Chains A and B, each alone.
Chain A
Amino acid sequence: MKKLVALFVTLAMLLSVAALLTGCGGETDDVEDPVETSGTNVDASGEDEIGASIDLRSTTDTSNPATDPYGKYPETVTFTTARQMDVGANFPEGMDVLNNPYIDAVYEKLNVEMDLQWQTADYSTKLDMCIVGDDLPDIFWVDNYMTYRELLDNDMIQPITDAFRSCAGEYMRDCYATYGGDIFEPYIEDGELYALPATYNGYQQCLLWIRKDWLDALGLEIPTTRDELVEVAKAFMEKDPGGNGAGNTIGIAVQSTPLGASNQNFGLDAIMASFGAYPQQWIYDENGNAVYGSITEEAKQGLAYLADLYRQGIIDPQFATRDYSDAMGLITSGRCGICFYSWNLPYSASEFLSANPTGDWVVLEAPVNDAGEFTYAALRPDNGVMCVRKGFEHPEILIKVLNVEFDMWRGIDQEGYAAVQPLIEAGTTWTAPMLTGHFNLEYNDAVVRIGELTANYIEKGITPTDTTEYNKQLCENAKRYFDDPSVADTEGWICYMSRYIASNSLKNSVEVPVAFHYATDGMGLYWATLEKLEDQYYMEVITGSASIDDFDSFVSQWKDLGGDVITDEVQDYVDSHNK
């Protein structure tokens, strides 16, 4: 039996290496090819492809399970953990959080068992309770940066540098390499890595989505600048190409919190960015110092422009009381033909096609700034971290479990991928069965990679071979719609619009570096007040009940109420973390 398992593990490893050699699921045609940087050895010890400020090169030694990415422990090792409850996870019959192919594989391959101590919908509060009671699980998820700092400052978590170096598998290393090291910096302290960040892949910035059938019906040009966009919006509202009745077409669909992040769907950040303004982001000023994006001179200009758009009725007059689903309703019902949204709009707007069978969209990197560039503020590369409790003897288990799980889920381990099929068929929330909960491991440029696959397939007829079944299916769906849009199948439309059209419209965006995505001590105390001041002033200016002339007094008030203190803290962080 043991021999059989060993054989299985070896086979899985060979397969995973083979998959990497052929281009890691065929998605690596562009940018740095991991095969070239890491060589053909499993333990690549030459160049540090991760690019962090500390040495994270591989130190794999397969003679000891503790330093072997897939090494099996001679005796069963149990680790305790906790998780955010997945409500409505849709497990297939006979499977649940404690009983599924991932649990089985981790046990069979690593001889590791999970002891789930608790799961709750209110994870952060419960975790804080555990911190108070000094009752932390061995391996646990932290999504609040201040909680991480607190754990660190009070010596409650241990460094995982060695565990990462010896046990990070090829897929994990390749994924992190696409983030260029930035993803690790906030979690490096005194030359040690203290937490493993969960990747939040890039290319999620909002693009300009415009109804192409409406543009064509009115004979309008595709807009590139904000003023051209306004002309298009005006034409849509006045000439009503959608047949909504006079005065019923909305210019731009916007939701009640329109600013704050470049991936804020139904937002207006893209228009602000065309002025060089990045509200609510800590950007760099011309001297390289951190500055809060909502108080810059550019923000003032952008805000004045938005107020003007609102006054003209181009921004949805009711946006202040529209939530996300209200704004989405305007799009799917065909009442509005312009919005800002990430590449994946069709996934959430699947009802659109049945309501507007001939509806078609153009996806643009617009509006551009005076230099002709479409810019966006860099997004936070992680959305939380896994920590290991101080005193737990096997910190490498975190890394090894992730190796096994993601090899299965990404189809690097073919047998593992076959084993998780029942979950995929049942439509289970993909993170629900995983031992590591919501932790994601994905290439930073995954969206673009798949976009290229679909483009190659549709335009050049290159069949995607060395990739996951899932990706192949995406290509097939997109091509089906491309070949015959009149069939109007929703799956095809979703893949065509998002994976082909939108994913290939992301290439010229210029990323503006962000100095700081996290939280400081002072924010705990002052942030609610500052946030309220800002939200209230910005909304009042846009809706016309406050004047843009008060912007300077808003700025000085912001600084006095704690903004200056926080700016200093952010600057300290920047000074101490910049290589």
Chain B
Amino acid sequence: MKNRKDQRYYHLMLIPGMIFLFLFSILPMFGIVIAFEDFKPAKGVFGSEWVGLQWFEYMFKLPDTGQIFCNTLIIAVAKILLNLIVPLIFAIMLSEVPGKHFRKFVQTVTYMPHFLSWVILAGILTNFLSLEGVVNSIVELFGGDPVQFLASNEWFRKILVISDTWKGFGYSSIVYLAAIMNIDQQLYEAAAIDGAGRFKRIIHVTLPGMLPIIMLMLTLSLGSVLSANFDQVFNLYSPVVYKTGDIIDTWVYRSGLLGYQYSLATAVGLLKSVVSTILIVVSYKLADKFAGYRIF
């Protein structure tokens, strides 16, 4: 009973957060009705003409819808995979390195790009990848022909995925490092006594110990399978690489916000959310079934 009384205060403390959530996340949800209207600001949400699924039909009739969806999926999935694997490997490697100070140093250095905005990074990348840039100097040093990476449909997606991973892997590895720290040291000692080498210990102790976190991260990231990172693409792309680089968000930006097509932009956003929600639910069920892992 005493316990319950305590909880009452915790619930009270939750209220500001709940109000915030209600005001800024739940209430605006009603705004999605404009996805089914021909929304005109002057007529308002209630006065605009109801057009049903017109915007969704329009979206699927567009000649480049397929291209945009494919680009988004390819870029986003590649990013999800690399953003999972690279930080994971990095975290394991870092945890195996002796020397606390060295570890801290490496960690700090690798965090840093996470805090730079894409506007700045895009400028740096454009410079690095230009014909006179560092990368092409190296290419030429080994006798290759210089490549215009950011104006090449062959390279553009690769650049997006690699640079995104580079930017985020240091920061993402925090979670994995924490998970590794939580693994019982006795397990390692037991494995060592059983004759397991360093590699075997990683395979049989570290990885299984991290599995719940890996599943959690994967599940959470599946929600962003239709988000290929607007900031990054927008700052790096140009009409030459529309073929491989135009994603849903950049397209919505051009048609919806620059053209003031609120309804269309909302419809696309809604579609994205619906797909993401379905994916999250499915992956959560799968995680529960195959790894026995539940978040809630």
The reply to whether A532 and B41 contact each other, CB–CB distance below 8 Å, is: no
Chain A 532-548 interface mask (CB, 8 Å, partner B; 1/0): 10011011100101000
User: Does chain B have a CB within 8 A of A531?
Assistant: yes
Alpha-carbon gap, A321 to B42, bound state (A): 40
Chain B residues near A528 (CB, 8 Å)? 251, 254-256, 258-259, 261
**Distance in Å from the Cβ of A557 to the closest Cβ of chain B?**
8
Binds B, one of A355-363, A460-468, A519-527: A519-527
The reply to whether A543 and B63 contact each other, CB–CB distance below 8 Å, is: no
User: Does chain A have a CB within 8 A of B64?
Assistant: yes
User: Does chain A have a CB within 8 A of B238?
Assistant: yes
The reply to whether B260 and A128 contact each other, CB–CB distance below 8 Å, is: yes
Chain A residues near B153 (CB, 8 Å)? 545
Residue pairs across A and B with Cβ atoms less than 8 A apart, 18 shown, are: A124-B260, A128-B41, A131-B41, A133-B44, A134-B44, A151-B42, A318-B130, A318-B131, A320-B151, A321-B150, A524-B260, A527-B255, A528-B258, A528-B259, A529-B64, A532-B246, A536-B243, A561-B63
The reply to whether A317 and B258 contact each other, CB–CB distance below 8 Å, is: no
The reply to whether A529 and B42 contact each other, CB–CB distance below 8 Å, is: no
Chain A residues near B246 (CB, 8 Å)? 532
Alpha-carbon gap, A156 to B47, bound state (A): 15
Chain A residues near B131 (CB, 8 Å)? 317-318
The reply to whether B238 and A321 contact each other, CB–CB distance below 8 Å, is: yes
User: Does chain A have a CB within 8 A of B13?
Assistant: no
The reply to whether B251 and A525 contact each other, CB–CB distance below 8 Å, is: no
The reply to whether A132 and B45 contact each other, CB–CB distance below 8 Å, is: yes
The reply to whether B239 and A321 contact each other, CB–CB distance below 8 Å, is: no
User: Does chain B have a CB within 8 A of A76?
Assistant: no
Chain B 93-106 interface mask (CB, 8 Å, partner A; 1/0): 00000000000000
User: Does chain B have a CB within 8 A of A147?
Assistant: yes
Chain B residues near A543 (CB, 8 Å)? 151, 240
Alpha-carbon gap, A151 to B40, bound state (A): 10
**Distance in Å from the Cβ of A553 to the closest Cβ of chain B?**
13
Q: Majority SS of interface residues in chain A?
A: helix
The reply to whether B242 and A320 contact each other, CB–CB distance below 8 Å, is: no
Alpha-carbon gap, A151 to B41, bound state (A): 9
Alpha-carbon gap, A373 to B261, bound state (A): 41
Known: A321-B148, A321-B238. A525 touches B45 (CB 8 A): no
A residues adjacent to B (C-beta < 8 A): 124, 128-129, 131-134, 144, 146-147, 150-151, 153-154, 156, 256, 317-318, 320-321, 326, 523-525, 527-529, 531-532, 535-536, 538-540, 543, 545, 557, 561
The reply to whether B148 and A154 contact each other, CB–CB distance below 8 Å, is: no
Alpha-carbon gap, A256 to B236, bound state (A): 12
Q: Which residue from B63, B240, B251, B258 sits with its C-beta under 8 Å from A320?
A: B240
Q: Which residue from A129, A147, A535 sits with its C-beta under 8 Å from B242?
A: A535
The reply to whether B148 and A320 contact each other, CB–CB distance below 8 Å, is: yes
The reply to whether A532 and B44 contact each other, CB–CB distance below 8 Å, is: no
The reply to whether A529 and B62 contact each other, CB–CB distance below 8 Å, is: yes
Q: Which residue from B239, B256, B258 sits with its C-beta under 8 Å from A539?
A: B239
The reply to whether A318 and B243 contact each other, CB–CB distance below 8 Å, is: no
Chain B residues near A131 (CB, 8 Å)? 41-42
User: Does chain A have a CB within 8 A of B58?
Assistant: yes
**Distance in Å from the Cβ of A317 to the closest Cβ of chain B?**
7
Chain B residues near A134 (CB, 8 Å)? 44
The reply to whether A535 and B45 contact each other, CB–CB distance below 8 Å, is: no
**Distance in Å from the Cβ of B53 to the closest Cβ of chain A?**
15
Chain A residues near B243 (CB, 8 Å)? 536
The reply to whether B42 and A156 contact each other, CB–CB distance below 8 Å, is: yes
**Distance in Å from the Cβ of A425 to the closest Cβ of chain B?**
33
User: Does chain A have a CB within 8 A of B2?
Assistant: no
User: Does chain A have a CB within 8 A of B43?
Assistant: yes
The reply to whether B242 and A150 contact each other, CB–CB distance below 8 Å, is: no
**Distance in Å from the Cβ of A327 to the closest Cβ of chain B?**
13
User: Does chain A have a CB within 8 A of B137?
Assistant: no
Alpha-carbon gap, A64 to B256, bound state (A): 47
The 6 closest A-B pairs by CB, nearest first: A528-B255, A154-B42, A535-B239, A131-B41, A320-B151, A539-B239
**Distance in Å from the Cβ of B135 to the closest Cβ of chain A?**
13
Chain B residues near A535 (CB, 8 Å)? 239, 242
Known: A128-B41, A154-B42, A529-B62. A321 touches B259 (CB 8 A): no
The reply to whether A525 and B238 contact each other, CB–CB distance below 8 Å, is: no
Chain A residues near B41 (CB, 8 Å)? 128-129, 131-132, 147, 150
